[in-house]
A and B are shown apart, each in its own frame.
Chain A
Amino acid sequence: MGSISINYYLYLSSILFALGILGVLTRRNAIIILMSIELMLNAVNLLMVAFSAFMGDSSGQIFVFFIMLVAAAEVTVGLSIVVMIYKHNGSIDINLIDKMKW
């Protein structure tokens, strides 16, 4: 076990995080944007578990557990907001949500 250097985990998490940012920046569907946020959270989770395993400290894995809890709560509220936006606008295009635009 553990003959992989931690650098590879760093690179993989960076790639996944950058892909999540790319999804947030380039898509206009609100649900896809929420899913890209999930992707970024997972990149951080992977890195946290990798560091926890390589350092021999289990606190990192508990933190991953809490990140999952917060992500579940965030998705619940976010999706209910998206459903309300859909009821209001008939679409979940984020460019239509410009009431608070300056």
Chain B
Amino acid sequence: MIEIAFFSLSILAVIFAILVITAKNPVHSVLFLVMTFFSIAGHFVLLNAQFIAVVHVIVYAGAIMVLFLFVIMLMNLNKESEPAKPLWLKLSGVITSGLLLLVLTAVFRKTVDKTAHVLPNPDIGLVKNLGMTLFNDFLLPFELSAVLFLTAMVGAVFIGKVKAGN
């Protein structure tokens, strides 16, 4: 049962990821990426990481992808203005990433044991346990991430204010 869920979610994620990088229309690309994020959120639920799954859907599908959509619609991009790379460059890109995939799978095949383990501590991904870890062990990084967000916001506003060609 869980294997069926795992493999169907994996196939969906891979298919939608392929569609993201092959779709000609950028808006379609964004929508396929949202579907990929939903399948990855399903994987998180399968791994009993409910909090991460919910945050993933809210932050990625809800915030980041809406930002992408707004920017794409602001620019009025369509299929005719879509730039295309020459075929030999695409082919070399496919070969390069294929080689990377080959090396990664070869390494993983040799190193990690293939036996299926039962999750040792199933309620690790619940909000209570994650909150305890976050506010006990990772309090300083958590506060620093607020500074990071402030910096990113100031940077975005500043870049947006500069006049073009100046």
Contact = CB atoms under 8 A, between A and B. Distances in A.
Measured as residues with beta carbon below 8 angstroms from the partner, the interface class of chain B is 35 or more
B119 A53 contact: yes
Contacts of B83: 28-29, 91, 93, 95
Contacts of A56: 119-121, 124
B118 A18 contact: no
A3 B145 contact: no
A10 B96 CA distance: 19
Contacts of A93: 83
Given A1-B122, A31-B68, A71-B64, A18 B97 contact: yes
Contact of B13 (A16, A59, A62): A16
Contact of A53 (B48, B85, B145): B48
A99 to B, nearest CB: 12
A26 B155 CA distance: 29
A28 B20 CA distance: 14
Contacts of B36: 39, 42
Nearest to B153: A76
Interface of B: 2-3, 6, 10, 13-14, 17-18, 20-21, 26, 29-30, 33, 36-37, 40, 43-44, 46-49, 51-52, 55-56, 59-60, 63-64, 67-68, 71-72, 74-75, 77, 81-85, 89-90, 92-94, 96-98, 100-101, 104-105, 108-109, 112, 114-122, 124-125, 129-130, 133-134, 137-138, 141, 145, 148-149, 151-153, 155-156, 159-160, 162, 164-165
User: Across chains A and B, which 4 residue pairs bring their CB atoms closest together, nearest first?
Assistant: A25-B93, A23-B21, A73-B152, A56-B120
